[in-house]
Amino acid sequence: MQNSVNIRKQEALEAISAAASTAEIADIEVRFLGKKGSINELKRSIASIPVEERPALGARINEVAAEVRELLDTRRAELASSEMSARIASESLDVTLPGLPFPQGGIHPLTQTSDRIKQVLSGMGFEFVDGPELEDYAYNFDALNYPEEHPAMDEQMSFFITNDRLMRTQTTALQGRIMSERKPPFRIATIGRCFRYEAVDATHHHTFHQVDVFMVDENISMADLKGTLGAFARSMFGEETLVRFRPDFFPFVEPGVDYSILWQGRWLELGGAGLIHPNILQAHGIDTNRYSGFAFGLGIERTHMIQTGVNDLRLYLENDVRFLRQF
């Protein structure tokens, strides 16, 4: 029986010595010292030998088990150390090598254009104010001198939510809110999304972005309007840019004009403008014998399209990164 113990010990020693990884050490531990391991099996065979031999055999088995356990622990530590060294070597980082760039987002072209417009108009003394996209019918139409029969007031032309609430069709709706809360003089500008029931194509969309600018003060005239628009256009499109006025009609201005800029040898319409209609000022208790004002608006998409040559309005809202990365 003692011979069997020595054989098991020798097998264990050879297996431990030949082990090349901590995983193999774990397998050897189970094979020899596990619940059903070969050394533990020797303990179960003690009952088959004479009683007087049992103590000596049991002591010898425990001694061998302890020796094997110690050798396993020692070899496991050696292998773990070498495995860690190999892992560190394989995963080492050369800090002198250039790093991999992280993907970065960019600023949307409409945001870029809006920021530039804000910069220019703020430099001219205009205060930017935000208005709600879900607007009151009164501010979107009534406060802007729209007649009852105007086509824009047809529910088929606007996104009505209730009888007296709709998605604003123009940022000009902010005028009534400002005039009901403030007394002149004031210079106000706003930028935001607008919504109209349109058949979507290269030049029309149900959602678009608009800047609206207006001021009220003493002795404001068309000369002030054209001077302001001229300074704005030169800041946005270049020092040689010229502005042209042509008569046009908008319910909230009188007289009204559309204004164009001379861009790359062609006159391009930029937006609508005019002197604020006296009815609007009077409706908010502003003395039209003392005060007058001007207003103008333009599309953010239109501005960027003129500057860059983009020919399809739909591209701005499709979120195609191939398009957006160009700007």
Paired strand residues for 213? 189, 296
- What is the mean pLDDT of the segment spanning 39-44? 72
pLDDT above 70: percentage of residues in the chain: 95
CA dist list (Å): 85 to 80, 90, 302: 9, 9, 63
Amino acid occupying residue 320: D
- What is the mean pLDDT of the segment spanning 184-190? 96
| 118 and 222 together in one domain | yes
| 29 and 137 together in one domain | no
pLDDT at residue 19, rounded to an integer: 86
| 295 and 156 together in one domain | yes
Whether 9 has a pLDDT exceeding 70, the answer reads yes
Highest mean pLDDT among 28-42, 78-92, 97-111, 222-236: 222-236
Q: Is residue 101 part of a domain?
A: no
Amino acid occupying residue 224: D
Q: Is residue 96 part of a domain?
A: no
pLDDT above 90: percentage of residues in the chain: 52
DSSP 109-124: HHHHHHHHHHHHHHHT
Q: What is the pLDDT of residues 62-108, one digit of tens each?
A: 787 888 888 888 888 988 988 888 888 888 777 788 888 888 888 99
Q: Is residue 210 part of a domain?
A: yes
**47: pLDDT confidence band, cut at 50, 70 and 90?**
low
* Measured distance CA(120)–CA(1) in Å, rounded: 100
Whether 152 has a pLDDT exceeding 60, the answer reads no
* Measured distance CA(18)–CA(50) in Å, rounded: 37
CA dist list (Å): 182 to 107, 277, 307: 34, 18, 36
Are 277 and 251 in contact by the 8 Å Cβ rule? The answer is: yes
Give how many domains the chain has, as a whole number: 2
| 301 and 164 together in one domain | yes
Q: Is residue 310 part of a domain?
A: yes
pLDDT at residue 6, rounded to an integer: 74
Are 252 and 144 in contact by the 8 Å Cβ rule? The answer is: yes
Whether 153 has a pLDDT exceeding 60, the answer reads no
How far out from the chain centre does Cα 154 lie? Answer: 36
| 46 and 136 together in one domain | no
Q: Helix, strand, coil shares of the chain as percentages rounded to 5?
A: 50, 20, 30
**193: pLDDT confidence band, cut at 50, 70 and 90?**
very high
| 174 and 313 together in one domain | yes
Backbone phi, psi, residue 307, to 5°: -70, -30
* Measured distance CA(190)–CA(255) in Å, rounded: 22
Q: Domain ends where: 90, 124, 158?
A: 90
* Measured distance CA(120)–CA(122) in Å, rounded: 6
Are 4 and 42 in contact by the 8 Å Cβ rule? The answer is: yes
Are 131 and 177 in contact by the 8 Å Cβ rule? The answer is: yes
Identify the DSSP state of 296.
E
Q: Residue 65 contacts by C-beta under 8 Å, 6 or more apart in sequence?
A: 33, 39, 40
| 117 and 194 together in one domain | yes
Q: Is residue 181 part of a domain?
A: yes
Whether 263 has a pLDDT exceeding 60, the answer reads yes
* Measured distance CA(326)–CA(276) in Å, rounded: 39
State the residue range of the domain holding 42: 2-90
Q: Domain ends where: 57, 90, 123?
A: 90
Q: Domain ends where: 58, 90, 122?
A: 90
* Measured distance CA(179)–CA(285) in Å, rounded: 9
Token duo for residue 4: 């069997």
The radius of gyration computed from the CA coordinates of the chain, to the nearest angstrom, equals: 42
- What is the mean pLDDT of the segment spanning 193-209? 91
Are 43 and 65 in contact by the 8 Å Cβ rule? The answer is: no
User: What integer best gives the mean pLDDT of the chain?
Assistant: 88
pLDDT at residue 150, rounded to an integer: 64
Q: Residue 109 contacts by C-beta under 8 Å, 6 or more apart in sequence?
A: 304, 308, 316, 324, 327
Q: What is the pLDDT of residues 270-296, one digit of tens each?
A: 999 999 999 999 999 999 999 999 999
First to last CA, the chain: 87
Are 1 and 45 in contact by the 8 Å Cβ rule? The answer is: yes
